Amino acid sequence: MLNEKTMRQAPTKRSEQIPVRKPQWKFNDLVGQKPRSDFGRMMFGAMSLVFPEGERFFIRSVKHFASHIKDESLAQDVKNFIGQEVQHGKLHEIFNNTVLGHDYDLQPFLNWYKSAMFDTVEKYATQLLGEKLALSVTAAAEHFTATWAAHGLSSGYLEQHINNQDLLDFMQWHAVEEIEHKHVAFDVLQEVDDSYVLRAAGMLFCATLLPFVISVAFVSLMRQALQQGVGQAKSIDILAFFRDGFYESRNGGIMSSFLPAIVEYLKPGFHPSDHDDYAMAKKVAERIEKRMAAVA
Ligand SMILES: [Fe+2]
Ligand SMILES: [Fe+2]
């Protein structure tokens, strides 16, 4: 009854391909520049701080079960998923160090994040509850990133709020690839153990920890902006900040899609590829690939 392979009716569709692109953005134009939206920069900054270490955790948790995968095309998808996530981590670290690091001290948050979430929570949770739970948390996290990616690409929010072409390409590139590989961790989990309870437990952990760490990162940036008045933060417009925050929470931003994403994921028989947004992702990917070729 709680075995999901028997619950799922239709065969699921996967992304046609998961290409590992290697963009070369340096983001030097953004250093010390005031963004169109301080709220948007800080929200993206908070997520960008969380991504690299988080993505290394995703890779670890999937890699742990790589030898269990019998389906050859899924085994290849795992390799490409790892390739894409490695690139995401690299690019976010360049953005974090170059752009955010110019205005903020990132180390206190990064040190806390690694020690609390990975050296402690991951270590003891996997010891107590097993590696399958880590894989299940990754599958849930990938559902959030794919949901946010679809919102980001379809809502027009990114184009409206970002006036730097490299930054827009960077965010859309990550969004495209989150859609391209959104089935991978989920399908590995289903192959390893298709228990609904395990899948729901992963979502429970993820839905608690992910907003918590993003909030801690956000507060660490906001506190520095308000208290130290460094760089761009010196001229932060508080009214615009809260107006943008309110707008973001109502117009397809990550906050407004958080609860619906949980409800959707907990539906028995759910599969990430039930949302066929591959054509949209492909269209954006073609534009970004042209830009990447022009920049290289
Ligand atoms: Fe990613
Ligand atoms: Fe991902």
14 occurs within a structural domain = no
- In angstroms, what is the span from residue 238 Cα to ligand 1's centroid? 31
Tokens of 42: 């800080």
Candidates 21, 55, 246, 84; CA nearest to 144 is 55
Task: Count structural domains, the chain.
Answer: 1
- In angstroms, what is the span from residue 178 Cα to ligand 1's centroid? 6
Determine the pLDDT at residue 1: 45
Looking at the CA of 182, name the nearest ligand.
2
144 occurs within a structural domain = yes
Determine the pLDDT at residue 174: 97
Neighbours of 78 (CB within 10 A): 23
Q: How far apart are CA 127 and CA 92, in angstroms?
A: 30
Identify the domain containing residue 247 by its residue range: 36-295
What is the per-residue pLDDT across 76-110, written as a single tens digit (0 to 9) for each?
999 999 999 999 999 999 999 999 999 899 999 99
- At residue 112's C-alpha, the angle toward residues 148 and 61, to 5°, is 55
20 occurs within a structural domain = no
What is the per-residue pLDDT across 185-208, written as a single tens digit (0 to 9) for each?
999 999 999 999 999 999 999 999
8 Å CB contact between 80 and 19:
yes
17 occurs within a structural domain = no
218 occurs within a structural domain = yes
Tokens of 48: 């960008």
8 Å CB contact between 263 and 58:
no
288 occurs within a structural domain = yes
What is the per-residue pLDDT across 230-252, written as a single tens digit (0 to 9) for each?
555 555 667 677 777 766 666 65
- In angstroms, what is the span from residue 88 Cα to ligand 1's centroid? 5
- In angstroms, what is the span from residue 239 Cα to ligand 1's centroid? 32
141 occurs within a structural domain = yes
Q: Give the ranges where the chain is alpha helix by DSSP (H).
A: 4-7, 38-63, 72-95, 101-103, 107-113, 123-129, 131-155, 157-161, 165-180, 184-192, 196-228, 238-250, 258-265, 278-295
28 occurs within a structural domain = no
Residue 296 has pLDDT above 70, yes or no: no
- In angstroms, what is the span from residue 107 Cα to ligand 2's centroid? 24
Whether this prediction's pTM lies above 0.95 is answered by: no
Looking at the CA of 138, name the nearest ligand.
2
Q: How far apart are CA 159 and CA 155, in angstroms?
A: 9
